Chains A and B, each alone.
Chain A
């Protein structure tokens, strides 16, 4: 049961083979057994989850169940949830209880899903290894000496270790796809504007996008059907007709044009990662897909551009954490400015402070044009690279991350090395494009490798279709880590 996909669990619930209470209990026990080792969850509230499961079972007995009714889902601790505290991985919000639910949470509540707990994450989603969390690092279930990736590392580890059948994440520069790759699961970052950001604590508003994390592409489609949709409370939410993200799961990959950006198959990428990715691409070719080399010439500028824009927005977004109305406030202070200084010095961790300082700097008078405006120009060039590429191909494939999971502490003292880990995941959010990562094998150490599939705006269904065909032919996505025995 623990190794089942969401679709299988949904079927089992529908067939009354299991109740939501039983299923929830099963996962809660699994969390209890493993969380001490993996630290994937920040907050678990068994009573609250079981109460939701009972309501789901009642709903089902009344014949009012949908596909997700009774299915336990873990949520990244960046989504505001009534009842469960919402920490965003920070000391600043260590005891914060939101009086309202994020739009995504409302959607899962409406679908009858059970909130299984709040997952660990890099502080304010700033990190690629989950080491910046105030609540301690998450460990990779495939090798607890290694990082799970970040910032949605808790969600990725929870799904990989079968502590949750599915989870939500958010992706600003790769925070869904990179941990999905490093933990051997599937994760989708949708087109910007498809999932409402209301109630999702902002890191970089023009980049942040929520998305699902699960074992299979088919599960992601099901979860997207619940998560996506217009929300008038988010001005950047897109008003489009509802769509079924699973509509292209039966896609025939024959004739599909797959672009392979030469910049993504270059030096600096772990050869084993490249081999696994090439093998996956060969499978698509064997099914009749056409591959062609393309170029995304501004790929090398993506990381520097990102580290101007994201910190700029973050420096402003995080100003509300001032100790005045909620969250951490320093105990002793001389005056107002001292209160601000101490509160923020105590409440934020090193990486968050670093980015607030970078962001403040690039927005400052005299530097704005050279950094922020210039970065916005280059951002448009990066988007144009993709627009041109998608005139020649339907999907783009390449590695999600240049390496498999690295050791805890290996990069935490070298921010630039850490930032470069996101080189292949940063371009899609800069362009607002959707990106998907699915497992495509393992390296010699037994660590998972992720295949990234990018598509044009609103091409999620097609991307999921291609991924699903691959997952029909392979079982990488169903492999469970030995370190977390079932």
Chain B
């Protein structure tokens, strides 16, 4: 029997703002406990919330990016429940009227473009943290996170399977970082997903009963959790049982989900409009002002890069990072289609490898976009063998100067002088009689080995095309 796995994702995105959602306290991660919480955050008697304009602009920014409807008037509501890390005894959120309604989101899952509908995105404040480690008998409360602005982004249940859900979450992660509303730091909890998972027989119209898996803070865990949960549900159903709607927690150590609470224990949050806050009114001018400051979106940039000559797979990789995209756009400025391909190959190849090796982002690159363009030009005009690109980048990293200086200082100029190449080829043929014989006996592999020997002897400087040509000629003619 074939089963279809249906997933909807809710993502809590911490918004990049200087201050908190409803107070002036700094919105910063990693400070000593309870040093980033002001009177409003710890809910002293008499304190009142004031909505953060920057957070509202971020919500508008997101709404525009996904083509959602920006509510001209949305309402902050109180979600009432008691918990020690919820100082007011209620969370200020949006309930009936969220700031962004609807929207569509396009992303690639397994190289196929998908489009899913978003239900809504609403503004709310984060709670503090309960700390159980380093305490015995008591729980520590850290209210630094209390009041941190969040945008909760909710999809329709239109994702099919764990891989597609993860592809969505990754693409959403790229987008929120791209438009500058979130730092995307998953270890610090800036981007946290809950997955609503249900299964149904392929072809069924009706959705199955869902379970919500809370707080998935890595893409790997998300995939594992959804896969585990779907398999669990299928096993229950195939065993003749039925799914109980519940909230479950993913335990990464055991790779399983466990029930947190069932629908029967669902709390009545007694939502009602927060009388301390006026309805959030967003005018056309507000929207236009934000629109004017929007960067081009990843999909637009991707199309432009492909049009300029960047291969699609490389364009995908580059446009997963706005800084990398900016760098690329700068490096391919005025370049031919061929040169553009060389540039993009350098970026996704040796340059990215070097950045990964140092675990730094492109804005910390020790080779500027201009220098990278020059590097590509030197490869195109035959000054430098492509095999030496990595060496040039490493030298630039070591501070040995610009590309041309490195080529000169290290004597890396490509040998394109046919006399010099013929001399090296003759030396190699003379020293490798066995390979020559092998080649003549029809072993093509031996040819590659001989090319390698020539390149090695030339310290990588020989023009590979010429080496091929000379070698082939000498082997067949003699």
A418 and B443 CA atoms in complex are apart in Å by 106
Taking a contact as CB atoms under 8 Å apart, the answer to whether B82 and A364 are in contact is no
Q: Using Cβ atoms and an 8 Å threshold, which residues of chain B touch A93?
A: 45
Q: Using Cβ atoms and an 8 Å threshold, which residues of chain B touch A340?
A: 82
Taking a contact as CB atoms under 8 Å apart, the answer to whether A232 and B50 are in contact is yes
A96 and B43 CA atoms in complex are apart in Å by 14
| Residue B270 lies at the interface, judged by CB distance under 8 Å to chain A | yes
Taking a contact as CB atoms under 8 Å apart, the answer to whether A336 and B84 are in contact is yes
A453 and B317 CA atoms in complex are apart in Å by 72
0/1 string, B259-279, CB within 8 A of A gives 1: 000000000101110111110
Taking a contact as CB atoms under 8 Å apart, the answer to whether B275 and A319 are in contact is no
Interface of A is mostly: loop
Q: Using Cβ atoms and an 8 Å threshold, which residues of chain A touch B78?
A: 316
A336 and B132 CA atoms in complex are apart in Å by 14
| Residue B314 lies at the interface, judged by CB distance under 8 Å to chain A | no
Q: Using Cβ atoms and an 8 Å threshold, which residues of chain B touch A98?
A: 44-46
Taking a contact as CB atoms under 8 Å apart, the answer to whether A233 and B46 are in contact is no
Q: Using Cβ atoms and an 8 Å threshold, which residues of chain B touch A88?
A: 45
| Residue B118 lies at the interface, judged by CB distance under 8 Å to chain A | no
Q: Using Cβ atoms and an 8 Å threshold, which residues of chain B touch A253?
A: none
| Residue A134 lies at the interface, judged by CB distance under 8 Å to chain B | no
Taking a contact as CB atoms under 8 Å apart, the answer to whether A236 and B278 are in contact is yes
Smallest CB separation, A349 vs chain B (Å): 16
Taking a contact as CB atoms under 8 Å apart, the answer to whether B50 and A316 are in contact is no
Q: Using Cβ atoms and an 8 Å threshold, which residues of chain A touch B275?
A: 204-206, 236, 313
| Residue B395 lies at the interface, judged by CB distance under 8 Å to chain A | no
Count of interface residues, chain B, beta-carbon cutoff 8 Å: 29
Contacts A236-B278, A319-B88 given; indicate if A325 touches B46 (C-beta within 8 A). Answer: no
| Residue A283 lies at the interface, judged by CB distance under 8 Å to chain B | no
Count of interface residues, chain A, beta-carbon cutoff 8 Å: 44
Taking a contact as CB atoms under 8 Å apart, the answer to whether A316 and B51 are in contact is no
Taking a contact as CB atoms under 8 Å apart, the answer to whether B48 and A235 are in contact is yes
| Residue B141 lies at the interface, judged by CB distance under 8 Å to chain A | yes
Taking a contact as CB atoms under 8 Å apart, the answer to whether B44 and A326 are in contact is yes
Residue of B with least CB distance to A313: B275
A372 and B272 CA atoms in complex are apart in Å by 9
Q: Using Cβ atoms and an 8 Å threshold, which residues of chain A touch B105?
A: none
Taking a contact as CB atoms under 8 Å apart, the answer to whether A324 and B141 are in contact is yes
Taking a contact as CB atoms under 8 Å apart, the answer to whether A198 and B47 are in contact is yes
Q: Which of A359-418 contact B (CB under 8 A)?
A: 360, 363-365, 368, 372
| Residue A485 lies at the interface, judged by CB distance under 8 Å to chain B | no
Q: Using Cβ atoms and an 8 Å threshold, which residues of chain A touch B102?
A: none
A319 and B88 CA atoms in complex are apart in Å by 6
Smallest CB separation, B176 vs chain A (Å): 27
A236 and B50 CA atoms in complex are apart in Å by 9
| Residue A197 lies at the interface, judged by CB distance under 8 Å to chain B | yes
Taking a contact as CB atoms under 8 Å apart, the answer to whether B82 and A319 are in contact is yes
| Residue B350 lies at the interface, judged by CB distance under 8 Å to chain A | no
Taking a contact as CB atoms under 8 Å apart, the answer to whether A80 and B46 are in contact is yes
A481 and B74 CA atoms in complex are apart in Å by 53
Contacts A96-B45, A199-B46, A201-B46 given; indicate if A320 touches B270 (C-beta within 8 A). Answer: no
Q: Using Cβ atoms and an 8 Å threshold, which residues of chain A touch B39?
A: 99-100
Smallest CB separation, B273 vs chain A (Å): 9
Smallest CB separation, A23 vs chain B (Å): 29
A279 and B82 CA atoms in complex are apart in Å by 54
Taking a contact as CB atoms under 8 Å apart, the answer to whether B80 and A319 are in contact is yes
Q: Using Cβ atoms and an 8 Å threshold, which residues of chain A touch B46?
A: 79-80, 98, 102, 197-202
Q: Using Cβ atoms and an 8 Å threshold, which residues of chain A touch B49?
A: 235
Taking a contact as CB atoms under 8 Å apart, the answer to whether A364 and B89 are in contact is no
Taking a contact as CB atoms under 8 Å apart, the answer to whether B84 and A233 are in contact is no
| Residue A186 lies at the interface, judged by CB distance under 8 Å to chain B | no
Taking a contact as CB atoms under 8 Å apart, the answer to whether B48 and A319 are in contact is no
| Residue B90 lies at the interface, judged by CB distance under 8 Å to chain A | yes
Residue of B with least CB distance to A376: B273
0/1 string, B76-115, CB within 8 A of A gives 1: 0010101010011110000000000000000000000000
| Residue B42 lies at the interface, judged by CB distance under 8 Å to chain A | yes
Residues of A within 8 A of B (CB): 79-80, 86, 88, 93, 96, 98-100, 102, 197-202, 204-206, 232-236, 312-313, 315-316, 318-322, 324-326, 336, 340, 360, 363-365, 368, 372
What 14 new A-B contacts, CB under 8 Å, besides A96-B45, A200-B46, A316-B270?
A88-B45, A98-B44, A199-B47, A235-B49, A235-B50, A235-B51, A236-B275, A312-B272, A316-B90, A319-B88, A319-B90, A320-B43, A324-B87, A325-B42
A to B CB contacts below 8 Å, 18 in the list:
A80-B45, A98-B45, A100-B39, A200-B46, A205-B274, A234-B50, A235-B49, A235-B276, A235-B277, A236-B276, A319-B89, A320-B88, A320-B89, A324-B141, A326-B44, A336-B84, A364-B270, A372-B272
